Structure 1
Amino acid sequence: MAEFVRHTERYAAEDVHAVLRLCDSGRLRCSEKTRRPAAASVVEVAKTLVSGDFYPDEPIAAFAWPLLVQAGGFAEITSGRLQVTAKGRAALAKPPATIIQAMWRSWLSKGLIDEFSRIESIKGQRAANVLTAPKARRQKVSEALTAQPVGEWVDVDALFAQMKQTAWSPRVARSERALWKLYLEDPHYGSLGYAGFGEWELLEGRYTLAVLFEYAATLGLIDVAYDEPVGARDDYHENWGADSFDALSRYDGLRAIRLNDLGAYVLGVRKSYTPPQPEAPERTLKVLPNLDVVAVGCPSPAELLVLESYARRTGDHVWTVSRESLLAAVDAGRQPDEFTAFLQARAAQPNLPGALLTLLDEVAERAGRLTDLGQVRLIACADPALATLISHDRALRSLCRLIGDQHLAVPVNRDEDFRRALTTLGYAVPVGASHPPAPPRPRASTDR
């Protein structure tokens, strides 16, 4: 019997929004070269997860989340920090299952790292022509997972037996020759090329465990039963250098998995999904008539992120809401009604103060009077007649907007279409031109 059992479905639904808000806070740092999260950022993510990571001192979910949001296009690295994208901000208003499905599908084809690289005890992975492409391996594990019975526990070793006997095996080494470059401890004595030393469980098995534990379980697709990794598996003990390791990987403790309803929906086994009834949040806040929000309990890290997005912290347990703080939230892409719903669900009193509701309505009304139409390229025409000609042309009028008498605003994403249609009309905009065109020169007189 495994020491730990985690039903991940409900946790992942809360974690996906919490991680997006954490990205929105600008606290997470990632390497612009490898796109992996910094160690301090992994700790920050772990503190934000509703039930913490699977192990207190071994990052699994906390390492995976920053990679998942990047692969899905929900966040991107800007100046070394992970920032939520427009897609990620819009996702905060969507059902968690929809976001998780998009993340899983994007990760299958656009994962940022090779998951096998997280099996650090197996050396030689960076040598040329050693490992197969991770995209194909991910797909194999996903196919194996899709074939499992929904709601039934499957022992990991039984799953391994299935995968070895079918086309679901995620081949890790490119060839028998490549196996000789993979090793434990010593490249010669510890090589996995020796007969019986590069077994399926060490390579394909450990890769499968990494995908299941670090990504499928993190996203809530499978429930997991697991032990501490130390001493959990002995399938590598006969290898040279094995005495140096208490476990071959951080994923060795995974004992059994269960495909849940969310996983069945994400993997396409079922066409619809009904999420479990969410637990009512604890009423840990008191909202005062002077627009102070006081913590009378212990708000979760995810709840603190929301508070700090809409209000300014003025004490150890106090946040002050103001017109300026709400407008700053709106400017960052957040919605006042989201904050209203957040407070109503967590306030100790039955009704929010009228002064706060009035302020929220005022900010929402003011924000609704301005609309961001996106970035445009501003093009100056030589004279109003040319600007009118272009803006009224049948092929061009949907690609530009007349600004004033002789300027055209072209959406950045329609720039190429605009230029193509413009040449058909008999004109062109020089690439890189940064000053208004000179008016046409008068023709020289032909009189002598």
Structure 2
Amino acid sequence: MTQAQLITLLEQLIKDRTSVKNNRSNVATEVAREFIKQAKPAVSAAIIAELDENYTKENLVALAKHARKMVSANEVWLGSLQLNLPYTWLNTLDTNAPKAKLLWAVAVIFSLPSVMQKFHETLPRELQKAFEKLTWLTEAKVDVLGKLIGENMLTPGNSSRYYQSTPEMEAIYKVLPHKSTGWGGSITLSWPKNIREFLRNTYPQPSDYHIKTIEEPPAHLARWEEGEVVIFEEIQKLLAYRLQDAIVINASGKVAANAFKKMRKTLGIREFLPDNEPFSLLRTLCLAQVLAAYAPAKNQINVDSLEILKQLQKTLLKELKLLHLLNDLKNHGFVNMYGYKQEAEKTLIEIMERLPSNKWVSIENLVAYAQIHDLQMLPTHDYSSLAYEVPSSNSSYSEKMHVNSNNLYSFVQHPALLGGLFLMAALGWLDIAYEAPTGQFGTNYYSSFDGLRCVRLNDLGAHIFGHSGKTYTPKVNKATQELIFDDKSLLIFCDPENAVAETVLANYAERVSNTRFLVTPQTFLKDCKSKAQLSAKISLFQKSVAPNLADNWHRFFDDILSKAEPFIPTNDLVVLRIPPANQTLIKLLAQDEVLKSIVLKAEGFRILVPQNQISKLKSRLRELGYLMA
């Protein structure tokens, strides 16, 4: 069909359909079936429907402006393709044209990849970048897409810094499908499903579509590569510290801010940035928060160090809230986590499972990969109460700003991913390369974790996340080697400079000097309420504190176990007390043959009656003139 015939056919179909008032909003979609049947155009009904649903007339006018340039420069070539689409309509349609006509006129750019490529070439450079980048994202907030293409997509004066600010996108980007919410809302851009698939067949896959490995991180970065060894030196004392309820936890489940310094000092925790004061407690923060979520019952853990780490991995999917790692934000206690389903935590585990073993990966690549594959990190859906502080223009005090949908990615989603990776490094599962953030918080960086640059899944991490079926042998626990267990007494010796001995032994022994601890039945039985708990405590002590003990220790354990629960409880006897002044009843119980066969005498004017004899006792007493309830 010629262009004139195509235009005439569509004009008639649109005219017929617009006479039906109920269908005015999607006329282009309504005529698609008949037009496709007659003209067989090189565009699907699904794409027409998506354009109709996601583009306003104003957006189509903007799109037509760019499409007109492409048609004008390639009209002869387009004619050779037999597209059967009315693209020459673009030469005559103006801003007053009906939406349906504009839509069918611009539909040509979604016909063939080669046509879209020609259209792409006519776009301004910033719009080319936006088209292509958005193709490989499921959706993106306007500020996120702007950062990815290196452009400010919001109009001047439109900043995500201000609470409840109304965003406005630059006119050039309105050719992209987008949805806006009202006052204080956000702008979300997203290609509809069928159009996105068409574009993905047009544009080459970006390099970040796959996880890429690098040889080495940049030389200037600090590295944490000893975590796999360090965690086995620390895990038992960390667990003991948790069992003593030494980690102060707020009602929200977040560790209290004043708990970190004490925990680091008490346990001698090695830090990522020990000498950089604003960031000197990052590893302690990570460890404290995962331990707070772990919350094991006292004396009911019968696992070795590696098993504890595996249990902590499971905790990620059950109790941990990555949001609680974001200590730069305020008002965590006002966030409603009811019904939260560990979405961000599941995403973190999925990312860990996709990392290659023993290969460095840049954060830039990993973040882009996660965005392309829709691995979203949203640790809460209720973020409006979260706030952060920045210096005021007066600079004499801080000004509180709120997290909103415009800055959610910068302050919550991106930091949640980086914080989660720091947590993996704190647990010894990742090696990382990093630096301290610099500049002004809220302007140059948005979380304490923003200095992360590269990650590497090590052997322990590969084992934890199922990359290797090989048996993993943990490093020797050096913390236990610092304690000497006497083979003749129940004394434990340590170096006077040992900063963690008291924490590790607090639940088992008492300090008797600066170099000695003494275990007694009283100290070891502390907090035990049953033989099962005592047995579990002995097992934990042997595996986590003293794996190789002399025979005298085993004899001690056998002895206290043999004395546990020495009595057999019974529930088949009822204890009754006789009023001491009731001599008649006392004499009766001593002389009546029937009563003597029923009751057993006990001290303190008490008698014991079997449960199955209570009715008989009541009956006999009634015969003797007594009423027993």
TM-score by length of 2: 0.46
| 1:41-95 Cα distance to aligned partner (Å, 9 max, x none) | 43343235565233335433333434433433414xxxxxxxxx2433x2xxx23
* 1:119-134 correspondence runs (5 A): 119-121=326-328, 133=340
Change (3 A) 1:171 1:319: closer
Q: Does 1:218 align with 2:411?
A: no
* Map 1:51-130 → 2, pairs under 5 A: 51-56=269-274, 57=277, 58-75=280-297, 85-88=298-301, 90=302, 94-111=303-320, 114-121=321-328
Q: Tell me if the contact between 1:327 and 1:363 (Cα under 8 Å) persists in the aligned partners.
A: no
**1:207 is matched with which residue?**
416
| Residue in structure 2 matched with residue 45 of structure 1 by the alignment | 263
- Is residue 363 of structure 1 aligned with residue 572 of structure 2? no
The answer as to whether partners of 1:124 and 1:181 remain within 8 angstroms in 2 is yes
Task: Report the Cα offset of residue 290 of structure 1.
Answer: 7.3
Counting only pairs closer than 5 Å after superposition, residues 234-383 of structure 1 correspond to structure 2 as 242=442, 247-278=445-476, 285=484, 287=486, 293-296=492-495, 298-299=497-498, 301-321=499-519, 325=523, 333=534, 334-335=537-538, 338=541, 358=552, 360-371=553-564, 378=571
Counterpart CA distance in 1 for 2:511 and 2:438 is 43
Alpha-carbon shift at residue 165 of structure 1 (Å): 0.5
Q: Which residue of 2 aligns with 1:15?
A: 234
Residues 158 and 134 of structure 1: CA distance in aligned 2, closer, same or farther (over 3 Å): farther
1:229 to 418, 437, 447: 437
Q: Within 2, Cα distance between the matches of 1:364 and 1:209?
A: 46
Specify whether residues 366 and 270 from structure 1 end up closer, same or farther in structure 2 by C-alpha distance, changes over 3 A only: same
| Alpha carbons 1:209, 1:252 under 8 Å: kept | yes
Contact 1:155–1:257 (CA under 8 A) maintained in structure 2: yes
Structure 1 segments unaligned to the other structure (5+ residues): 76-84, 232-236, 346-350, 383-403, 409-435
- The CA deviation at 1:372 is 5.4
Cα 1:261–1:135, aligned 2, differ >3 Å: closer, same or farther?
A: same
Which structure ranks higher in relative contact order (CA pairs < 8 Å, sequence separation ≥ 6)?
1
**How far apart in 2 are the matches of 1:3 and 1:97?**
27
SS of the equivalent of 2:512 reads strand
Once the two structures are superposed, what CA deviation does each residue of 1:111-145 show, in whole Å capped at 9, x if it has no partner? 2xx43354355568777889994611111122122
> Which runs of no fewer than 5 residues in structure 2 stay unpaired?
1-217, 393-398, 576-607, 624-629
Structure 1: how far apart are the matches of 2:329 and 2:495?
50
Where does residue 580 of structure 2 map in the other structure? none
Contact between 2:387 and 2:400, CA under 8 Å: does it hold in 1? Answer: no
Mapped to 2, the partners of 1:122 and 1:329 lie a distance apart of 38
Are the structure 2 counterparts of residues 190 and 437 from structure 1 closer, same or farther at C-alpha, using a change threshold of 3 Å?
Answer: farther
Whether the 8 Å contact between 1:137 and 1:171 is mirrored in structure 2 is yes
- Describe the shift of the 1:19–1:124 C-alpha distance in structure 2 as closer, same or farther (beyond 3 A): closer
**Corresponding position of 2:174:** none
In 2 relative to 1, CA 438–110 (structure 1 residues): closer, same or farther, beyond 3 Å?
A: farther
Tell me, yes or no, if the aligned pair for 1:179 and 1:193 is still in contact at 8 Å: yes
Give 1:212 deviation, angstroms: 1.6
The answer to whether the 8 A contact 1:121-1:249 is kept is: yes
User: 1:74 is paired with a residue of what secondary structure?
Assistant: coil
Relative to 1, partners in 2 of residues 1:289 and 1:183: Cα closer, same or farther, differing over 3 Å? Answer: closer
- Secondary structure of 1:206's counterpart equals helix
Q: Aligned residue for 1:154?
A: 361
Q: Which residue of 1 aligns with 2:248?
A: 30
What SS does the aligned partner of 1:224 have?
Answer: strand
> CA offsets per residue over residues 124-183 of structure 1, 9 Å max, x none?
8777889994611111122122111011111112110101101212246759xx889977
Q: Is the 8 A contact 1:131 1:173 kept in 2?
A: no
1:6 aligns with one of 219, 222, 225: 225
What is the rounded CA distance, in whole Å, between the counterparts of 1:297 and 1:437 in structure 2?
A: 68
Could you say if the C-alpha distance between residues 264 and 286 of structure 1 is closer, same or farther in structure 2, counting changes exceeding 3 Å?
closer
2:261 partner amino acid: V
CA distance in 2, matches of 1:104, 1:340: 20
**Cα distance between partner residues in 1 of 2:523 and 2:419:** 42
Other-structure match for 1:170: 377
SS in structure 2 at match of 1:108: coil
Q: Larger C-alpha radius of gyration, 1 or 2?
A: 2
Distance 1:325 1:273 in 2: 37
- 1:227-272 CA-partner distances (Å, limit 9, x unpaired): 22334xxxxx8xxx845xx742121222211112222222233344
> Number of aligned pairs?
355
Partners of 1:154 and 1:258 within 8 A in 2: yes
Q: Given that residues 344 and 378 in structure 2 are in contact (C-alpha distance below 8 angstroms), is that contact kept between their aligned partners in structure 1?
A: yes
Per-residue displacement from partner, 1:184-212 (whole Å, max 9, x unpaired)?
759x9967668xx5374543211101222
Query: Does the 8 Å contact 1:286/1:293 carry over to 2?
Result: yes
Letter in 1 for 2:264: A
SS at match of 1:109: coil
Q: Rate the CA distance shift 1:364–1:336 in 2: closer, same or farther, 3 A.
A: farther
AA in 1 matched with 2:315: S
Percent of aligned pairs sharing the same letter: 16
Provide closer, same or farther for how the CA distance between residues 65 and 290 of structure 1 changes in structure 2, counting only shifts above 3 A. Answer: same
SS of the residue corresponding to residue 562 of structure 2 reads coil
Deviates more, 1:125-134 or 1:250-259: 125-134
| Counterpart position of 1:140 | 347
Q: Using the alignment, how far apart are the partners of 1:323 and 1:127 within structure 2?
A: 46
Q: Secondary structure at the match of 1:154?
A: strand
Q: Which amino acid aligns with 2:364?
A: D
Distance 1:100 1:439, change over 3 A: farther
Q: Determine helix, strand or coil for the equivalent of 2:224.
A: strand
Instruction: Compute the displacement of 1:297 (Å).
Output: 6.4
Give the direction of change, closer, same or farther, for the CA distance of 1:314–1:260 in structure 2 (3 Å limit).
Answer: same
* 1:6-60 Cα distance to aligned partner (Å, 9 max, x none): 332222233221112223445x152462344445543343235565233335433
What is the TM-score of this pair, normalised by structure 1?
0.62
CA distance in 1, matches of 2:402, 2:544: 59
Native 8 Å contact 1:16 1:96 kept in 2: yes
